[in-house]
Amino acid sequence: MSTIAKSRARQNLARLWLSAAALVFVLLLVQSLRGVYPDLSASWGWFSSMVLPAPALILGVLVNEAARGRPAPARVDRFVYHVTFGLSGLYLAAVLLTLLWGPLTGDALSLLVTSNTYLGILQSLVAAALGVFFAAKPAEDDAAGDAQPPVPARPAAVGAGE
Amino acid sequence: MQLRPSARRHPRAPVAVAACRRALPLGLLAFCAACGRASEQAPAAGEPAAVPPETAHAPSTEPPPPPPPTPGPPRNGAPTRRPAMANGGEEIARFPWPPPRPSDLVRIPSELVTGGRAEVRLGEAAGRLERAFTDAGYGRLGYYSAPDGFVLVSRMEQIRDDGTPRELPVRWSADIAPPRLFGLSDYLRALFSANPGRYRVIAFVVTTRAIRPDAEPATREQAAEWLDAGADALPAPLAAQSYTPAHRTTALVYEFVRPSSRVAAEQVRPSRTLARTHLERAGLWAALEAPR
């Protein structure tokens, strides 16, 4: 089973989610200041429900690990990581596309509200993948190139038991 | 804690409760029906009370009392369906009077409505206004009666910020149309700027009375219904009346803005565009000035 260092996988996911969330936040903020959305509670409610939960989860895990000190060198299945990363990228692309499609419809707020339907389906898939990724038991086998070198066996004490 | 005997659950209590629940909607229905019949029989607010036939036809030696003042229509922006004239024979709805507060209004010079002629009937003035609307691209129109005159209402149209009509078919659509995007700069401008729908209804009021608009603004829904409730032509008795020197023609412009289909439209007041500019950009002023 191919594996990847869990800390590295988490960092990659955190980078993806935090950068995308920051981009969406800035876009939405500028649009709000320019009066694009007549109902700010609706637009920011969309941001809170569609974008914030996953970065909040990832940040929580990272903060928890940092608070516990140096984590154990755990590994995770590479397939699980790729699926989680791919679904996250697809979901965030859909979120960004929804925001950027607004000018083409003429009614950006309506688009945000109606996007709850299809984004909700994608979001549940992403949430499931993130749940599997973070709750998965550390993988035992390691055939990846970036695997940690095996800890050398402790040499037997000379004269032990003698 | 021990329950009182009366508070204990009776074995047939659920059945009684269910029966009451079933009976309650029926009782409410009967009550509503009774109220509806009572309101049909009772004169509505602002309507003259029905006179019994024996009283109406009884000979009287006393001089007839002065007629009661004509009750005004409800001041809620909705037209009232009632005869425009006592002997008209044709029914035409009455425009809300005083008219709902417009976004702006402008007096139309009489010569533009009469064509400079001394003796003109209301029907001719209506025809001139109707032709102006037709020349400017407006389709269906709605006629209403007004005190000593009439009101001609246009269909609600979608306009640009400067008052010019939107291109077809967006002009007659209620949906907010996307802006025209010709390049990246247009797209970025549209991405970071609001794109509200702007709507306009123009009403020409021909009357001898001074127009003191109501304090209440019209809603977009009311203004949209004006066309449907209006007549397609002026009744003959009303059209035969003279357009006297006391008659004035005023254009009331009702402008609405709707930021999103999720948000209710609001009347723009005061309009950033003057009523005369609205008429000019709609092509109505030029159509009125055109020689006939």
CB contact under 8 A, A106 and B177: yes
The answer to whether residue B66 scores a pLDDT higher than 70 is no
Kindly identify which residue of chain A lies nearest to residue B179, measuring between CA atoms: A106
The answer to whether residue B11 scores a pLDDT higher than 80 is no
Instruction: Report yes or no for ipTM above 0.90.
Output: no
Start-to-end C-alpha separation, chain A:
42
What is the rounded average pLDDT of the residues B23-48?
A: 39
Kindly list the distances between the CA atom of residue A148 and the CA atoms of A141, A144, B165, in Å, as whole numbers in the listed order: 11, 9, 70
pLDDT at position B208, please? 93
- Which of A34, A104, A105 is opposite residue B192, by nearest beta carbon? A34
Q: How confident is the model at residue B17 (pLDDT cuts 50, 70, 90)?
A: very low
Summary mean pLDDT of chain B:
76
The answer to whether residue B54 scores a pLDDT higher than 80 is no
What is the spatial distance between Cα B149 and Cα A51, in angstroms, rounded to a whole number? 60
Kindly identify which residue of chain B lies nearest to residue A38, measuring between CA atoms: B259
Q: A61: distance to nearest CA of chain B, Å?
A: 35
Query: Which residues on neighbouring strands pair with residue B267, listed in sequence order?
Result: B256
pLDDT at position A66, please? 83
Q: How do beta strands B142-146 and B104-108 pair?
A: unpaired
Kindly identify which residue of chain A lies nearest to residue B187, measuring between CA atoms: A103
3 state SS of B111: helix
**8 A C-beta contact, residue B82 and residue B105:** no
Is residue A41 less than 8 Å (CB to CB) from chain B? Answer: no
Looking at B35-39, B86-90, B172-176, which range is the least confident one?
Answer: B35-39
Q: B180: distance to nearest CA of chain A, Å?
A: 9
More confident residue, A8 or B74: A8
The answer to whether residue B169 scores a pLDDT higher than 60 is yes
pLDDT at position B78, please? 66
**8 A C-beta contact, residue A118 and residue A94:** yes
| Burial per residue of B84-96, b for 16 or more beta-carbon CB atoms within 10 angstroms, e otherwise | beeeeeeebbbbb
